[in-house]
Structure 1
Amino acid sequence: MGTEMRILHLCLSCFYIDDAGYQENHLVRQHVADGHEVLVIASTEIFDGKGGLGYAEPGSYIGSDGAKVIRIPYVGWLPHKIGRKLRIHAGVYQLIEAFGPEAILFHGCAGNEIATAARYAAAHPDVLLYADSHEDLNNSARSFVSKNLLHRMFYRSRLRTALPQIRKLLCINVEAMDFMAGLYGVPRDQLEFFPLGGHVLEGPDIAERRAKTRSQFDLQEDAFVFLQSGKMTSRKKLADSLDAFARLEGAHLRFWVAGLLTDETKTDLSAKIEADPRVSFLGWKSPDELNDLLCAADAYLQPGTQSVTMQNALCCGCPVIIDDVPGHRPYVSAGASLVHDPSSLLNAMQEALTWDQTGKRATALRFAKEQLDYKKLAKRPLEA
């Protein structure tokens, strides 16, 4: 194989969202930037802009990450609700065959088409087939039906069929590795840690973005900014963050909320946001706009469920305060503060106000360069 390859990203067990900053976006974007011929085959599932599920029209186009995207529907011979759960799509093998990939990265292990990708790899032994896993008990198999019917019976059987053809199963955290080994029975030696990453910004770029963004918000030199972002379900624990912030005194303090408020949380969170003039709700931001905010912020908060924005924060040199779960323990080396309840969250936010900002930001950025750079991570699925 030459240095330029035909790379196929299969996003049929997960969302592929244009103008987003998820792992799939970063890897596709990096593969395009590296000069490869890249194709994304994705489901029609997208976000509707209100935090819910929507559907795009089937078809092909050049996506925001620079690659051709082909969106395909679920099979017509099953009721839509069942096809969506089993993730069975029409014509996948034929599309793979027409592209003739040299490397395939299948995103998400829970679905039917991983077996289709493996069937192609079996017929073409030189093809590199990798799969990644974001699934763990925090986000998957949370009900009896989901765990025992979907995951243990259907998804597991499809993955087990595919395993002989998969070079490695790339897991984003320790919990995902445990989930794959425990519920799916994947041998530990076939699992590999593959963290969510980001595009690491250089010091001068960070400084320029920080100055520009803080000026836009008319912040004084001593302003200290907390930032939390994402689709704000109750499990993101934004309410805990806002409650803790309300107990911090100081007109120089700011709290920025970027993202979406879901129907279940909107009333309560809106009241908390409006109650404190130091808090600003900024709405949904593009990845580049979010990077500007991360460069300008002094601490990124993630006391609830995991999000790739935490890694993006480190790539912008922004220190983080995050939930104390096994998957976050490696980030202590990045200077992360771990919290496990509202009291420890408050303590961490109070302590943040006394940080050596220069040292903290340098530690975060150094860790990102060593561990999280997608320029390095994107090469892994291309290795035999």
Structure 2
Amino acid sequence: MRVLHISMACNAYVDGWNYQENCIPKYHFLDGHLVGMVTVQDTVDEATGAYCLDERLDYIDDNGVRIYRLPRIVMQGVAFTKKLRVFRGLYAVINNFAPDLIFIHGIQFLDIHHVIRYVKRNSVRVIIDSHEDYYNSARSWFSRWIVHGILWRWCAKRIEPFAEVIWGTLPIRCDFMVDVYGMPQEKVKLLVMGAEDEKVKAALSSESRSEKRAELGIDEDSFVIVTAGKLNEGKACVINLMQAVNQFSDANIRLVFAGSVVPKLHKAFNQQLSEHVIDAGWQNSEELYRLMGIADLIVFPGSHSVLWEQAIALGKPCVFRRFEGMSHLDLGGNCLFIEDTSTESLVETIKELYFNQEKHASMKSVAVEKGMQRFSYQRISRESIAPNL
């Protein structure tokens, strides 16, 4: 089958990252489909973290997916027109690719009318997914009622009649599609994010575990807690987690942090580094899988990221901060949700899982038996284009 993915609603598309728009096309290709991705020129310089443009317009990525990057059409001197997401050449790419199925990653771009024009003229399946929710979108009155309530709702309403299914990647994102864009409840379904199967397998090998622990100076008997992400003011509770672990000075517990730290928090962060709290620095995708692979417990006391689902896919017991619309993470006892992320509360949570080996083992059992299959991107990618199976 000829499958064309369209991701024009993103701020940037970076080859090789672990986002859904990277992983689902990859596994569609591995399943034998002819796969293309139409996306923006905007990308990220991984050395500096700065946004930049990828000047390549048509190439094959490392996963075998053909990438088409389209230039934006922006009125000179009118900055907001960039946010309207109008591009040069979208209809031509779709028409030349001649897809059997169009998979739209986000409907928030005015050029969606080119997709509609093509679909009206050709026999082609359409599937949509959405990543918008009340935590990352519609946070001001203007955004909620004008940008999403009028502009993007109009785009959603126009494409909806042609869509087989509208996937939300979190339960709260399913609600957003219904409540904000007026999508029919019967078409909106949950498609979870996940982890790349081969990276999970490699990360869980005994060789990888031993090498990664040795690299960090951690012995095989240590109880390892891992947390990761960008440490900013919104995730300052990670400092509380560091303080909590440092209170277990007599226990063989190690906390490993992987990610970046904003300058404002450098001092507080560095003050908590110790024999028990280790800074692994920024890790690329493969190394982050390997790092989480050595964990006995993974704790995310801040806001949601794709790492939450990856942690479960690795078969790890997890502790997550409680947010509305995250019920899909609990598969029957693999994780704990906490509301209080103070140092004192985190100390009690760690005690509960470090000293109660039976509970920890039970959580791990559920994560291994259910999480590794539920959050497998190979499984997710197949479900994404066969919603009724």
Using structure 2 for the length normalisation, give the TM-score: 0.88
Q: 1:192–1:208: structure 2 CA closer, same or farther, 3 Å change rule?
A: same
Deviation at 1:181, TM superposition (A): 1.2
Deviation at 1:80, TM superposition (A): 6.4
SS of aligned partner of 2:326: helix
Q: 1:280–1:187: structure 2 CA closer, same or farther, 3 Å change rule?
A: same
User: 2 CA distance for matches of 1:345 and 1:78?
Assistant: 51
Alpha-carbon contact 2:333-2:362 (below 8 Å) kept: no
- Residue 84 of structure 1 corresponds to 82
User: 2 CA distance for matches of 1:73 and 1:244?
Assistant: 48
One-letter identity of the residue aligned with 2:336: S
SS of aligned partner of 1:327: coil
Runs of 4+ in 1 over 6 A off after TM superposition: none
Uncovered stretches (5+) of structure 1, i.e. residues with no partner: none
User: 2 CA distance for matches of 1:203 and 1:359?
Assistant: 24
User: 2 CA distance for matches of 1:269 and 1:97?
Assistant: 54
User: 1 CA distance for matches of 2:206 and 2:361?
Assistant: 12
SS of aligned partner of 1:243: helix
Using structure 1 for the length normalisation, give the TM-score: 0.89
Alpha-carbon contact 2:210-2:220 (below 8 Å) kept: no
Identical amino acids, percent of aligned pairs: 26
SS of aligned partner of 1:235: helix
User: 2 CA distance for matches of 1:157 and 1:204?
Assistant: 44
User: Aligned pair 1:193/2:190, yes or no?
Assistant: yes
One-letter identity of the residue aligned with 2:350: M
User: 2 CA distance for matches of 1:80 and 1:298?
Assistant: 51
One-letter identity of the residue aligned with 1:279: V
User: 2 CA distance for matches of 1:342 and 1:189?
Assistant: 37
User: 2 CA distance for matches of 1:304 and 1:327?
Assistant: 15
Deviation at 1:202, TM superposition (A): 4.8
User: 2 CA distance for matches of 1:269 and 1:30?
Assistant: 42
Alpha-carbon contact 1:244-1:342 (below 8 Å) kept: no
User: Aligned pair 1:377/2:372, yes or no?
Assistant: no
Select between 316-325 and 210-219 the one with higher mean Cα deviation. Answer: 210-219
Q: CA RMSD in A?
A: 2.4
- Residue 227 of structure 1 corresponds to 226
Q: 1:109–1:242: structure 2 CA closer, same or farther, 3 Å change rule?
A: farther
- Pairing 1:6-85 to 2, within 5 Å after superposition: 6-14=2-10, 15-49=12-46, 50-77=48-75, 79=77, 81-85=79-83
One-letter identity of the residue aligned with 1:378: S
SS of aligned partner of 2:255: strand
User: Number of residues paired by the alignment?
Assistant: 377
Alpha-carbon contact 2:256-2:278 (below 8 Å) kept: yes
Select between 197-206 and 102-111 the one with higher mean Cα deviation. Answer: 197-206
User: 1 CA distance for matches of 2:99 and 2:49?
Assistant: 34
SS of aligned partner of 2:172: helix
Q: 1:37–1:313: structure 2 CA closer, same or farther, 3 Å change rule?
A: same
User: Aligned pair 1:181/2:184, yes or no?
Assistant: no
User: Aligned pair 1:242/2:251, yes or no?
Assistant: no
Deviation at 1:232, TM superposition (A): 2.7
Q: 1:112–1:58: structure 2 CA closer, same or farther, 3 Å change rule?
A: farther
Deviation at 1:51, TM superposition (A): 4.5
Alpha-carbon contact 2:255-2:277 (below 8 Å) kept: yes
- Residue 266 of structure 2 corresponds to 267
User: Aligned pair 1:136/2:136, yes or no?
Assistant: no
User: 2 CA distance for matches of 1:238 and 1:113?
Assistant: 40
Alpha-carbon contact 1:206-1:316 (below 8 Å) kept: no
Q: 1:122–1:217: structure 2 CA closer, same or farther, 3 Å change rule?
A: same
Match 2:367 to one of 343, 364, 369:
364
One-letter identity of the residue aligned with 1:302: F
One-letter identity of the residue aligned with 2:384: P
- Residue 340 of structure 2 corresponds to 341
Deviation at 1:188, TM superposition (A): 1.0
One-letter identity of the residue aligned with 2:379: K
Query: For 1:243-274, what per-residue CA distance to the aligned partner results, in whole angstroms no more than 9, with x for missing partners?
Result: 333333346222222122235x4434543454
User: 2 CA distance for matches of 1:141 and 1:87?
Assistant: 17
User: 1 CA distance for matches of 2:250 and 2:52?
Assistant: 42
Deviation at 1:115, TM superposition (A): 3.6
User: 1 CA distance for matches of 2:184 and 2:216?
Assistant: 51
